[in-house]
Amino acid sequence: MKIFLDTANIDEIRKAKGLGVLDGVTTNPTLISKEAHRGTFKEIVREILDEVPGPVSLEVTSLRYEEMVRQAEELSSLGKNVVIKVPLTSDGLRVIKTLNEKGIRTNATLVFSSNQGLLAAKAGATYVSPFVGRLDDIGEYGMRVVEDLKTIFTNYGFKTEIIVASVRHPIHVYEASLIGAHIVTMPYQVLERMLQHPKTDEGIQRFMEDWKKVRQ
């Protein structure tokens, strides 16, 4: 399973890369806005693109077909590892088809049902991003959509990959890995929590204390 970081913070990206587990990054307008103090949009994005070895999702900000296509072409010109995030609306679906025909990779975002994911895959999306945490928030079981999409894509041989998004805690990552999701994108804090276990800390403390008793 690939691990993406859901952030635009270059320090978090560098730390995750240093751990040796970073496969890509997803961003959105909200995440970019939090880094506005670092420079212009293009300066922030170029720094990320230079640092990340894999795909970097950048989101269009229009909801109109023609404008989304124009923005997508402009964004894709920033680097070879750019993937265009497109919201799954009727215009968004048309954009995904158009960009696929132009050889531009896409990430269908704000997916909340298996039907939406199926349509995105049919239109040629490179990735679909079901938002599991937001579904959990309203009393639905978000990971069920991931399960369904994995089955649907396997049934029909779709090459579209599933990015489990809106990840809130390590259990989401655990469940996604059992289902066989291709990718999980997470905040850096979730990645940190995946490393932590009180028994690991307890074991290290005991070993260090015992080592002090050994004559050197």
Per-position DSSP letters for the chain, written without gaps between them: -EEEEE---HHHHHHHHHTT---EEE--HHHHHTTGGG--HHHHHHHHHHH-SS-EEEE----SHHHHHHHHHHHHTT-TTEEEEEE-SHHHHHHHHHHHHTT--EEEEEE-SHHHHHHHHHHT-SEEEEBHHHHHHTTS-HHHHHHHHHHHHHHHT--PEEEEBS--SHHHHHHHHHHT-SEEEE-HHHHHHHH--HHHHHHHHHHHHHHTTS--
Whether residue 38 is predicted with pLDDT greater than 90 in this model: the reply is yes
Whole-angstrom distance, CA of residue 60 vs CA of residue 58: 7
Catalytic residue ranges: 85
> What is the CB neighbour count within 10 angstroms for residue 201?
10
The pLDDT assigned to 216 comes to 81
Average pLDDT, integer, range 115-140: 98
**Tokens in use for 174?**
């655990």
So where are the chain's domains?
A: 2-211
Cα dihedral sign, 42-47-48-54? positive
2-211 topology per CATH: TIM Barrel (3.20.20)
* Digit-coded pLDDT (tens) for 12-25: 999 999 999 999 99
Q: How confident is the model at residue 215 (pLDDT cuts 50, 70, 90)?
A: confident
* Digit-coded pLDDT (tens) for 186-196: 999 999 999 99
pTM of the model: 0.95
